[in-house]
Amino acid sequence: MADYVSGKTAVYAILDDPVAQVGSPGRFNALFRERNHDGVMVAMRIGADELTQGFAGLRTIGNLAGLVFTIPHKLPMVGLVDKLAANGQLVGAINAAKPGLDGCWIGDMFDGRGCAAAARAKGHNLAGRSVLQVGAGGVGRAIAFAFAEAGIARLSISDLDSKRSRILADDLSSAFPAIATEVAAPRVAGHDVVVNASPLGMAESDPMPVPAADLASDMLVIDVVLLDRPTPLLATAAERGAATQNGHAMLAAQVGEIASFFGITT
């Protein structure tokens, strides 16, 4: 972010409803400064019923260089952009889009890539790893495909909605047939990476997503739940000597991945 905004400043926006709680503009603007990029990110409140009309108006703004989306816009934006990049196609949702030189907007998904990037930043190579993932919803799908891109060898998927688990397993097997994919109970044995991509842990009364007794010191344990304190899963994993990664790490790494997608690399 430049010291001041001028007519040359590239404008970016995050679309959400409501917007008061959105912290992404601060993260992006800090990264713009770090990468010496003349750009500014702002939050824009657009309701779900206004998204089609709102995006049609936004895409006419010549210095709008990129958009970021949160729930509830990740799914409907798939049908509004002109093109989908690979991960957006696989996940069936997007959380960022940018205009091309031809004026066409392309969208992609970075939730899972942020999770994978955060792991890499801490020295964890996902290639060849065996992963147990609890949660097959939107974030779960994004993480599964991003981890598949990173070269994992095996993915066991557990979700209270068995149909949703099966759909994800089938979709991932079709796209990455070399990965051993299964729908299974949340048993930790035989896995060296554990991912909680479910809401379990947001409330103190929530059960653990996996049996605590099975967590071991040679594991990487990831929890996407955003809290200002360690979730019970991460606290237990740390007590057992396991490496841990929280939702804030995923979010921070995702900002860098999206910025690179926007072409802001240095």
Q: Is 98 a catalytic residue?
A: no
3-class secondary structure, 121: helix
In this structure, are residues 238 and 260 in contact, taking their beta carbons and an 8 Å threshold? no
Sign of CA dihedral 41, 45, 48, 49: negative
User: Side chain identity at 60, as an amino acid letter?
Assistant: T
DSSP code string of 122-163: TT---TT-EEEEE--SHHHHHHHHHHHHTT-SEEEEE-SSHH
Q: Give the CA radius of gyration of the chain.
A: 19
Please list the alpha-helical segments (H only) found in the chain: 24-34, 51-58, 86-91, 111-121, 138-149, 162-175, 232-239, 247-261
The catalytic position among 74, 83, 122, 163 is 74
3-class secondary structure, 78: helix
Give the integer Cα–Cα distance in Å for 263 and 258: 9
Residues with catalytic function = 74
